[in-house]
Structure 1
Amino acid sequence: MNAPLRRVAISVLVLFTLLIVNINYIQVVRSEELREDGRNTRVLADEYSRERGAIVVAGEPIALSTPTDDRLKYLRQYPQGGLYAAVTGFYSVIYGATGIERAENPLLAGTDDRLFVRRISDLFTGRDPSGGDVVLTLDPAVQQAAMAGLEGQVGAVVALDPSTGAILGLASTPTYDPNLLASHDLDAVREAAAQLEAADPDPRSNQAISQRYAPGSIFKVIVSAAALENGYTPETVVPAPQVFDLPQSDGTLKNFNGSACDPSGQQPLIQALTISCNTAFAQLGIDLGEDAIRDMAEGFGFGREDLAIPLDVATSTLGEIENGDQLARTSIGQQDVQVTPMQAAMIAAAVANDGVLMKPYLVDQLLAPDLTVIDETDPEELSQPISARTAEQLTEMMTSVVTNGSGRAAGIRGIQVAGKTGTAENEGPDHNWFIGFAPADDPQIAVAVFVRNGGGTGGDTSAPIARQVIQAYLDAQEGR
């Protein structure tokens, strides 16, 4: 009899030991993780008891909290609806927080360690606790022009200040109204979430930083950079056949619509980029070799996993290159090359900034509840993939694209625009791209425009949107 009782006692002791270990693991080891989990409605309910800080653009709140009469004392509101949804994300009692609402939650919620003195002061003064404000780098004129240009399309626009990396615009379409997910009517919130989830694509998916696509011919800027860094000049004559026989393959590669880039079968590098000659860049990539192409792509940010802005940015990749066939296709931005619109904007920004790539950032300042600055972002150099001389030559070549070639629709009267179009093949209608910057002789804004399955060309579809965004920013700057 004693033996069975002993076994039961030991089993109970083991179970109690495991229970105690688990409780300690949850309360000590995972406590911070669970507390910051956006799905933790208990924490959210506690945060709703105090006023959440605002998210601010150009002095105006694009997310703020207002008092209510229900058990959740504050309602999160987004005065401009879907205009900034790709940036703010939403703050929901059911679904937690996304976007800046999540990335800067400790400050917005008032739990940030930098607000400790404020919290102590609140206890002694009886003042209602509140969160701090997050001031963003966005420019309203850029954001509005980007969203207007993308209307009716699935796509994205990213605009950067090339000299600092400050994000001037970050637009993603289709968009959604964060107010519907921030409501205190839980049934309405669930219904709104179900409708978003049923959409294709889900509007909550950020096309600018979370999705990757084949870049098509905008990748030729990277190949051109590799060529210029390896002794080529814009005037170097390169082979440009009408049809390119892919090495280590029975396949061939043609130019857009099967056209000939030049009757002679060769042309200067600047002209090859101006008209976006596929066969020229396929041969150029093979001549340069995989290492030169890959090293240059990595210099521009490909493969980096530390690009939080502070929103997470998907890593752009070159993919595997196993033979000459794949290297040729990679060199025209096809094969397995995958980039985010953010990465595309970084390419243009580095060229515009004399070859120096600045780290993109979205948060300008963090403010305490009394509006004193407790932190601000200092611009940070990420890399220098090319020399200032190469950047100057690329600017000349990209200006030719807009003045004489496939990017004419990005041109602005009286302002020199540098750019590159891209049309990427995929399973559906072609994707359309444009990257560029202006003014070419004194760059103030770098832009990437992406339209998913636009079906036309980058010059037809994306370049006009880029023109609108650039024009809006330069006009706004002139008026300030």
Structure 2
Amino acid sequence: MNKTIRRASVFCLLLVLALLGRATWVQAYQAKALAEDDHNRRNTIAQYAQPLGDIIVAGSPVTGSKRTEGSDLAYKRTYKQGDLYSSVTGYSSQAYGSTQLEGIYSHVLDGTDDRLKSPLGAITGKRSAPGDVVTTIDPDVQKAASDALGDDKGAAVAIDPRSGQILGMVSSPSYDPSGISGTNDGDTWSKLLADKDKPLVNRAMRQPLAPGSTFKLVVASAALENGLYDSVDEPTKSPVPYTLPGTSTPLRNESASAPCENASLRVALQYSCNNVFGKVAADLGQDKVRAMAEKFGFNEEKLDVPVRASKSVYPEDMDKPQTALSGIGQFEVTATPLQMAMVSAALANGGELAAPHMVSKVTDGDGGTLEDFADGDTKRIVSEDTAKQLRSAMVTVVEKGTGTNARIAGAEVGGKTGTAENGVDNSNTPYAWFTSYAKSGGQEVAVAVIVEDSGSTASEVSGNGLAAPVARKMMEAALRR
């Protein structure tokens, strides 16, 4: 064999070995990654090869599947009252992926979850029947929230304080997931993305904003728990006006005629006295207020219900005047409606917070339980005495304070209003907040509502005027359960 042929043979052998090595690497090490790659069309074909499992509300599916024509994706997702439940279900789209419960439980719903495989199926590789996701949502509470919010931009959450079950979760404006579930829905998708009101954002748990005076419940909890005051009826020695520490800037109250000078915590909550809670936060110091906020769930990176909520924030490294502003839910304090519902839920439940969740169980194709979410998994936030005192003060707010629009005949209702500044120097329409609880006939519920924009002028915006009526409708529906 001459030198040229020998060199060519060696080169060809090296090429073959390189190809064998590459094939072995792909099969042995990269197969799983390639199989799970989002751009692998086979995964999408497999996901929609059969009807999907369902998301269940009160025993009935709010989802379905429809046969598609002329596509390698055999079925697409459909929704019943999609715009009512989109903040719960999310969407499952052949083109744009899946979100919320549709995304978290996609493998259960499409039948590929390993827990669904029978011993025979594991051997043969036969596709398993899909499972279902059973929610805690009450359809009457959900509809009450949606109807009451109407065309207003905002969100609302209702929780059973004893169990932590989320009974209602609504974000407005909403959208119908059916409109983007196929492969040819680009126009609808583009309109949703371009909409300045961001209907795809779940405002109930994914858009934290300044909570305004609803945060005063957290500050009042810190004051009682740290012994700053022994009772909600003890005078606070708060001057009017209260000047922010180290500045010449007065912290003004909403009403100049309100009896806020030296007001007790009860009266300060009743009239939403900024001077009291600014001074209380400054007297306690940011560390004690933050510790209490974090007990309620602020600054939690992984609040999963099971959809992950955005973090509600109580900031760090504030100076004295900033700490005082944080006491009225301003400066850089932010909260989701879910978080503020958790505050009321803990106080309503004797100071214990039941872990919020909107899925009760996940089942296989035969109805067997794959995953169970126990109710009543609680942790203590404040003492029973602190919770009892603050409930009493919240009732005062509703009976003869700033929250009278939340009254329900024959029920114990407590709440706290909030009007939060929005924009530089409050240049935009303020946010209207209300957080509350109600008890009657063995039923309990805690609610938080934010109205970001109702079309009202700034002077017409108030928690009592815009948010409290929404909360009342939700609480009435929950108490009828």
TM-score (norm 1): 0.89
1:474 and 2:474 aligned: no
1:397 and 2:397 aligned: no
Q: Which residue of 1 aligns with 2:96?
A: 95
Whether the 8 Å CA contact 2:79–2:177 is kept in 1: the answer is: yes
1:61 and 2:61 aligned: yes
Secondary structure, in 3 states, of the residue corresponding to 1:205?
coil
Whether the 8 Å CA contact 2:117–2:128 is kept in 1: the answer is: no
Q: Which residue of 1 aligns with 2:469?
A: 464
Whether the 8 Å CA contact 1:52–1:64 is kept in 2: the answer is: yes
1:245 and 2:248 aligned: no
Match of 1:219 among 215, 223, 229: 215
Whether the 8 Å CA contact 1:238–1:269 is kept in 2: the answer is: yes
CA deviation after TM superposition for structure 1 residue 46, in Å:
1.2
Q: In angstroms, what is the RMSD of aligned CA positions?
A: 2.8
CA distance in 2, matches of 1:311, 1:417: 29
Q: Which residue of 1 aligns with 2:189?
A: 193
CA distance in 2, matches of 1:467, 1:316: 24
CA distance in 2, matches of 1:453, 1:14: 67
CA deviation after TM superposition for structure 1 residue 423, in Å:
0.5
CA deviation after TM superposition for structure 1 residue 354, in Å:
0.7
Mean alpha-carbon deviation: is it higher for 237-246 or for 307-316?
237-246
Q: Which residue of 2 aligns with 1:180?
A: 179
| 1:144 partner amino acid | K
CA deviation after TM superposition for structure 1 residue 307, in Å:
1.2
| 1:277 partner amino acid | C
* 1:71-220 to 2 correspondences below 5 Å: 71=71, 72-117=73-118, 120=121, 129-183=128-182, 186-187=183-184, 189-220=185-216
Pick closer, same or farther for the CA change 1:40–1:178 going to 2, 3 Å: farther
Mean alpha-carbon deviation: is it higher for 343-352 or for 64-73?
64-73
CA deviation after TM superposition for structure 1 residue 388, in Å:
0.9
CA distance in 2, matches of 1:99, 1:91: 9
Whether the 8 Å CA contact 2:116–2:128 is kept in 1: the answer is: no
Q: Which residue of 2 aligns with 1:255?
A: 253
CA distance in 2, matches of 1:245, 1:330: 14
CA deviation after TM superposition for structure 1 residue 73, in Å:
2.1
Provide structure 1 residue ranges, at least 5 long, that are not aligned to the other structure.
none
Match of 1:418 among 414, 421, 425: 414
Q: Deviations over 1:140-173 (max 9, x none)?
A: 0000011111111111111111111111001001
CA distance in 2, matches of 1:327, 1:260: 25
CA distance in 2, matches of 1:443, 1:291: 36
Pick closer, same or farther for the CA change 1:21–1:429 going to 2, 3 Å: farther
Pick closer, same or farther for the CA change 1:13–1:316 going to 2, 3 Å: farther
CA distance in 1, matches of 2:94, 2:383: 50
Q: Which residue of 1 aligns with 2:435?
A: 435
Whether the 8 Å CA contact 1:44–1:96 is kept in 2: the answer is: no
* 1:184-333 to 2 correspondences below 5 Å: 186-187=183-184, 189-231=185-227, 232=229, 233-257=231-255, 259-262=256-259, 265-333=261-329
Secondary structure, in 3 states, of the residue corresponding to 2:470?
helix
Mean alpha-carbon deviation: is it higher for 190-199 or for 280-289?
280-289
Mean alpha-carbon deviation: is it higher for 339-348 or for 110-119?
110-119
Whether the 8 Å CA contact 2:160–2:167 is kept in 1: the answer is: yes
CA distance in 2, matches of 1:81, 1:60: 14
CA deviation after TM superposition for structure 1 residue 66, in Å:
3.2
Mean alpha-carbon deviation: is it higher for 114-123 or for 240-249?
114-123
Secondary structure, in 3 states, of the residue corresponding to 2:259?
coil
Pick closer, same or farther for the CA change 1:441–1:287 going to 2, 3 Å: farther
| 1:175 partner amino acid | S
CA distance in 2, matches of 1:78, 1:438: 32
TM-score (norm 2): 0.89
| 1:261 partner amino acid | A
CA distance in 2, matches of 1:51, 1:118: 22
Mean alpha-carbon deviation: is it higher for 312-321 or for 206-215?
312-321
Whether the 8 Å CA contact 2:298–2:314 is kept in 1: the answer is: yes
Secondary structure, in 3 states, of the residue corresponding to 2:392?
helix
CA distance in 2, matches of 1:415, 1:380: 23
CA distance in 2, matches of 1:118, 1:56: 27
| 2:259 partner amino acid | D
CA deviation after TM superposition for structure 1 residue 129, in Å:
4.2
CA distance in 1, matches of 2:469, 2:248: 38
CA distance in 2, matches of 1:23, 1:273: 66
CA distance in 2, matches of 1:288, 1:66: 59
Q: Deviations over 1:390-437 (max 9, x none)?
A: 111110011111001000001111212011111100111100110011
Q: Which residue of 1 aligns with 2:337?
A: 341
* 1:364-379 to 2 correspondences below 5 Å: 364-379=360-375
Q: Deviations over 1:43-100 (max 9, x none)?
A: 1221111221011101111111133444332231101120001111111111011121
CA deviation after TM superposition for structure 1 residue 209, in Å:
0.9
Provide structure 2 residue ranges, at least 5 long, that are not aligned to the other structure.
none
Matched residue count = 460
Whether the 8 Å CA contact 2:90–2:99 is kept in 1: the answer is: yes
Pick closer, same or farther for the CA change 1:190–1:434 going to 2, 3 Å: same
Q: Deviations over 1:207-232 (max 9, x none)?
A: 01111100000000001111111232
Whether the 8 Å CA contact 1:261–1:272 is kept in 2: the answer is: no
CA distance in 2, matches of 1:356, 1:440: 19
CA deviation after TM superposition for structure 1 residue 21, in Å:
6.2
Mean alpha-carbon deviation: is it higher for 389-398 or for 39-48?
39-48
Whether the 8 Å CA contact 1:355–1:388 is kept in 2: the answer is: yes
Secondary structure, in 3 states, of the residue corresponding to 2:189?
helix
Q: Percent same amino acid at aligned positions?
A: 37
